[in-house]
Structures are given as C-alpha cells and as structure tokens.
C-alpha cells in the first residue's frame, strides 16, 4: 500500500465532511457537530486527545453489513474482526446488533466476554496461540477456533475433553495491493497453512475424536481497495473440497483521504457472493470478518494545537500523535485533518505530534485554515486501529473513548492517569 500523495487542492466543506461519520454537520459558527454534539463541548468536557465515536454511524454500518450479506446469502453471518477496535463498549454494541466477533488472543476474548458476546458467536484466531489462551477459549465455549498451524492441533487434542468445532486457515498465495505490514495471504506469510499443508491438516482433523472440522478460513490482508483478490481467495479455498462452513475473512479498505475510492460494502459483498455462488456448495454457511471498514468511519480524533512553527513547511504540533495513532509510522497510512472550528480551506501544513520521533506525523500537507495554538484539530476516519495500537510513548496517557448519539455524549473508556502508569510497578 503506497503512501498516498497529498491532495492537489483544498477540499470544499462539503467534500471534507464526506470523510466524517454520516450526519456530521457544521454549527452556525462553523464548528463541527458529530453525533449531535459540538466538538468544542466535547473537548471541554472530555479533554484532548479524545477518540469520538458516532454510535449511530457504527450501528448503521453493522446493519449494512449484516443485512447486505443476509440478502445475498441467507445462511451467513458477519463476525467483527475486533482487533480493529477491541473496546468493551464496541463489543457490546455490535453484539446488540447481532454480529459475531472474532478475537485474536486472550485479551480480546476477555473483553468480548465482558461485553456480553455469546461464546458460541466467538471465532478465535491467532498464529501463536498459547496453551493458556486455547484453554481459555475452550473453557469459555468459543464457537469456532481457527487452526493456524499443526501445533494448534496438538495443543487442542490435549486440552479438549469433549468436542471443539474448528476451521483451518488457508494461505492461498494471493498478495493484494496493500502495504506489506497488513498483507497476510501471500506465499511466505506467517499466517495459516499453504494449500498442501491445509490438505494435510484437514485429513488429520477428519480423523480426530475431539476436534470437529467445520470448514476452512481465508484472510488475505487489510486496507484492500480492489475486489478482485477476494474472488480469487474464495476460489482457492473452494479447491480444498466441500465443507459446512467457509469463513472468507475481511480486508475491505476504508476511505481515509479525499482521493481514496474504495469499493462500497455492497460491491464487496457482490464480489464475494458471486464467487461463492460459482464455486461453493449452496447449502454452506458463509462467514465474513470485516474490521477496518466496519469501524473506521465512525471515529474522529480531537486534538488541541500546542504550537505552530510557520515556515517552509509550517509545522502544526498537537497534544497527541503516535501514542494514539501509530498507523502513519507503522505503515504509512495517510489521514486528513481540519481545524474543527474553521472547517475547510487553508494552506498545507505538516500536522505533527508531540512525541520525540521525527516520524511522529499525523498528516503531511494537511490544508489547515489559519491554525493557532489552542485550536481544535479533527482527524476523521480514526475508528480503526488507533485505539488498538495506542501506547504510552514518552509517558503519554491513552485517550478516552467517547460515544455520541443524538446530542448526548458519554465516555466508555476513561482517560488514563499517571497513577495508571505507576500501578503495575513493584518496589
């Protein structure tokens, strides 16, 4: 996934708002209103940085996926790839919308259970599951455990006392056009089993008295902006034979910049289901696992400008950065930004963070209108992975998560304190 070139011209207010959650508006004085809440009020009440989530937008996207898939393939379900936003309140909301959940690791499993997700609706992933994590999943009654390697089979054969449904993760040898850090389906990937290895695992599982082979799983990567590789992935797992369950993974990209044009959810579903109709058994149960495209657009991060260094370039430094948004440094993801009370227009600026790294950039060449210390900056499309990857670099305090709906706002994750940083220390 190459780093996106900056836009050639400042976007209009109308086009800029396209990146924000649906329903985002401007107040009479020009301030952003998200989920019916003025961003100035949110910043005053919850401080900055803060991750703001439009609850209605998130619910709407969940229904769009669930209803869209069901209309195309009735025997199906959507499982949220929760590594994109492993927050208890998000698990609870998506469970209320009827979604299943996929987890990778004991921490995500614990959060999902705390969020009220029914264990039978949990899919457990991971390329290096420990005995403790597998035992935790089995004891919880996880609906499906995805076999990523032969060691998973060995461990589960020792741990499972009764019967555990499993899927085999297949690496189909497909490399989509995305950044290497989020590409998972190519030859040499650390995830899953090659087609020949998968056949060996399938044969072994069919002879197991404890592990019930329900089907196969495939996932080729994240932030994929073309549907064609998804169809090839379906064809690859179909070649392994007929199964009761086909988990087709996720990976649809989100629109982060004005220039991005990812496929719509409907185009993505059409591609998957058209391929499934051609090559999968018509009675099969189909699962998909959207993550980034489920939650990205519902989130907006608010920052406060700490300093402005005017020159070539102009640096606008805010009170957050790579501690609350690591995607830029990790794989070159580009974000847009605007002064939250003077939306649209302005000259290109380097929007940077407060951390001691030259790579601590939030948005290069972002058009900001007359930025000044104390201004609020809004960065849209931060609902995916920013929370997951948040950290305490330079002793930063991880920000709160605030849900907004119909003009009401509530913190679902509080801001960390310095006491939190010290709590695990031992004398």
Structural domains for the chain = 13-55+296-422 (2.40.37.10), 56-294 (3.20.20.10)
49: its two tokens: 């940085």
pTM, to two decimals: 0.94
Beta-bridged to residue 379, according to DSSP, are 301
Residue 40 in contact with residue 341, Cβ under 8 Å? yes
What the block records as the tokens of 143 is: 């609906």
Can you give the pLDDT at residue 184? 66
Interval 262-282: pLDDT, tens: 999 999 999 999 999 999 999
Which band of pLDDT confidence, cut at 50, 70 and 90, is reported for residue 284? very high
* Per-residue pLDDT, 1: 38
Please give the pLDDT value at position 183: 57
Note the pLDDT of residue 191. 77
The pLDDT tens digits for 327-346 are 999 989 999 999 999 988 89
Residue 195 has pLDDT above 80, yes or no: yes
Report the alpha-carbon distance of residue 394 to residue 369 in Å, rounded. 29
Residue 107, pLDDT above cutoff 90: yes
Please check the confidence at residue 6 and state whether its pLDDT lies above 80. Answer: no
**pLDDT of amino acid 221:** 80
Model confidence pLDDT, tens digit, residues 140-186 = 999 999 999 999 999 999 999 999 999 999 998 767 666 676 656 66
At 216, the pLDDT band (50, 70, 90 cuts) reads very high
Burial code of 179-216, b = ≥16 C-beta within 10 A, e = fewer? beebbbbbeebebbbeeeebbebbebbeebebbebbbb
Model confidence at 2, pLDDT cuts 50, 70, 90, reads very low
Please tell me whether the peptide bond between 313 and the residue prior to it is cis, using omega within 30 degrees of 0: yes
Which pLDDT does position 4 carry in this prediction?
40
| pLDDT computed for residue 345 by the predictor | 84
Mean pLDDT value across the chain: 93
Q: Which residue has the tokens 């951390």?
A: 355
> What percent of the chain is predicted at pLDDT more than 90?
86
Residue 66 CA to residue 86 CA, distance in Å, equals 19
Helices (runs of H) and strands (runs of E) counted in the chain = 13, 20
- DSSP one-letter string for 95-147: HHTT-EEEEESHHHHHHHHHTT--GGGEEEE-SS--HHHHHHHHHHT-SEEEE
Among 227, 224, 109, 240, residue whose Cα is nearest residue 171: 240
Predicted confidence band of residue 26 (pLDDT cuts 50, 70, 90): very high
The residues annotated with a catalytic role in the active site are 356
pLDDT digits over 381-414, tens only?
999 999 999 999 999 999 999 999 999 999 999 9
Distances (CA, A) of 259 to 27, 234, 296, 414: 26, 29, 16, 34
Hey, what are 30's tokens? 């020009």
Distance in angstroms (rounded) separating the CA atoms of residues 251 and 396: 30
Q: What is the pLDDT of residue 7?
A: 43
The pLDDT of 302-330, averaged and rounded, is 96
């Amino acid at each position: 996934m190459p780093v996106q070139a900056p836009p050639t011209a400042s976007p209009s207010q109308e086009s800029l708002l396209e990146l924000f959650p649906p329903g985002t508006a401007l107040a009479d004085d020009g301030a952003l209103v998200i989920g019916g809440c003025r961003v100035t009020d949110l910043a005053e009440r919850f401080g900055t940085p803060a991750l703001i989530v439009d609850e209605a937008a998130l619910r709407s996207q969940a229904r769009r996926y669930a209803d869209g898939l069901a209309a195309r393939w009735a025997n199906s379900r959507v499982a949220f790839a929760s590594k994109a936003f492993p927050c208890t309140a998000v698990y609870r909301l998506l469970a209320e919308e009827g979604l299943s959940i996929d987890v990778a690791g004991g921490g995500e499993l614990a959060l999902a259970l705390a969020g009220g997700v029914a264990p039978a609706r949990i899919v457990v992933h991971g390329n290096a599951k420990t005995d403790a994590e597998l035992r935790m999943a089995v004891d919880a009654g996880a609906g499906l455990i995805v076999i990523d390697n032969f060691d998973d089979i060995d461990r589960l054969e020792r741990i499972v006392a009764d019967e555990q449904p499993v899927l085999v993760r297949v690496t189909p040898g497909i490399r989509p056009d995305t950044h290497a850090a989020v590409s998972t389906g190519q030859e040499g990937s650390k995830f899953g089993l090659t087609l020949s290895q998968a056949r060996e695992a399938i044969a072994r599982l069919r002879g197991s008295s404890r592990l019930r082979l329900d089907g196969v799983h495939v996932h080729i990567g994240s932030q994929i902006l073309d549907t064609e590789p998804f169809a090839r992935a379906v064809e690859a797992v179909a070649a392994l034979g007929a199964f009761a369950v086909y988990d087709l993974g996720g990976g649809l990209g989100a629109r982060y910049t004005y220039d991005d044009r990812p496929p719509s959810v409907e185009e993505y579903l059409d591609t998957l289901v058209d391929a499934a109709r051609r090559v999968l058994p018509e009675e099969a149960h189909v699962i998909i696992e959207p993550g980034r495209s489920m939650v990205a657009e519902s989130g907006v991060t608010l920052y406060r400008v700490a300093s402005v260094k005017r020159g070539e370039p102009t640096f606008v430094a805010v009170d957050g950065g790579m501690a609350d948004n690591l995607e830029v440094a990790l794989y070159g993801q580009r974000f847009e930004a605007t002064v939250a009370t003077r939306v649209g227009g302005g000259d290109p600026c380097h929007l940077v963070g407060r951390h001691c790294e030259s790579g601590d950039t939030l948005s290069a060449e972002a058009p900001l209108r007359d930025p000044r210390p104390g201004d609020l900056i809004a960065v849209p499309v931060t609902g995916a992975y920013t929370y997951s990857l948040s950290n305490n670099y330079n002793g930063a305090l991880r920000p709160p998560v605030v849900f907004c709906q119909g003009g009401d706002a509530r913190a679902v994750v509080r801001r960390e304190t310095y006491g939190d940083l010290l709590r695990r220390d031992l004398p």
